[in-house]
Structure 1
Amino acid sequence: MHEDIQEVLFSEEEIALRVAQIGAQITKDYAAAVERDGQGIVLVSVLRGAAIFMADLARTIELPLEMDYMAISSYGNGAKSSGVVRILKDLSSEVEGRHIIVAEDILDSGLTLTYLLKNLASRNPASIEVATLLRKKTLEQAKIDCKYIGFECPDQFIVGYGLDFAERYRNLPYIGVLKPEVY
Structure 2
Amino acid sequence: MHSDLQEILFTEEQIKQRVREMGAQITKDYANEEIVLVGVLKGAVTFFTDLARIIDRPVAFDFISCSSYGSGATSSGQVAIKKDLDKSVEGKNVLLVEDIIDTGITLSWLLPLLRARKAKSVKLATLLSKPSRRKVDVPVDYNGFEIPDAFVVGYGLDYDGRYRNLPYIGVLKPEVYSK
Judge same fold: TM > 0.5, yes or no. yes
Aligned ranges for residues 1-183 of structure 1 at < 5 Å? 2-32=2-32, 34=33, 40-138=34-132, 140-183=134-177
User: Normalising to structure 1: TM-score of the pair?
Assistant: 0.94
One-letter amino acid of the structure 1 residue matched with residue 16 of structure 2: A
Alpha-carbon offset, residue 138 of structure 1: 1.2
- How far the C-alpha of 1:94 sits from its partner, in A, is 1.6
User: Equivalent residue of 1:14, what SS?
Assistant: helix
For residues 19 and 11 of structure 1, what CA distance do their matches in structure 2 show?
12
Computed over aligned residues only, the root mean square deviation of the Cα atoms, in angstroms, reads 1.0
**In 2, Cα distance between equivalents of 1:118 and 1:166:** 28
In 1, distance between residues paired with 2:113 and 2:68? 15
Moved over 2 A (4+): none
1:139 Cα shift? 5.0
Consecutive unaligned residues in structure 1, runs of 5 or more: 35-39
Deviations 1:78-133 (A, max 9, x none): 11101110001000122101100000000000000111111111101110000000
The alpha carbon displacement at 1:142 in A equals: 1.4
How far apart are residue 77 of structure 1 and its match? 1.0
| CA offsets 1:120-160 (integer angstroms, 9 cap, x no match) | 11101110000000001315431111110000001110000
- The whole-number CA distance in structure 1 between the counterparts of 2:133 and 2:9 is 21
- Tell me the percent identity: 56
Q: TM-score, normalised by structure 2?
A: 0.96
For structure 2, which runs of at least 5 residues remain unmatched after alignment? Answer: none
1:67 and 1:178 map into 2 onto residues whose CA distance is 31
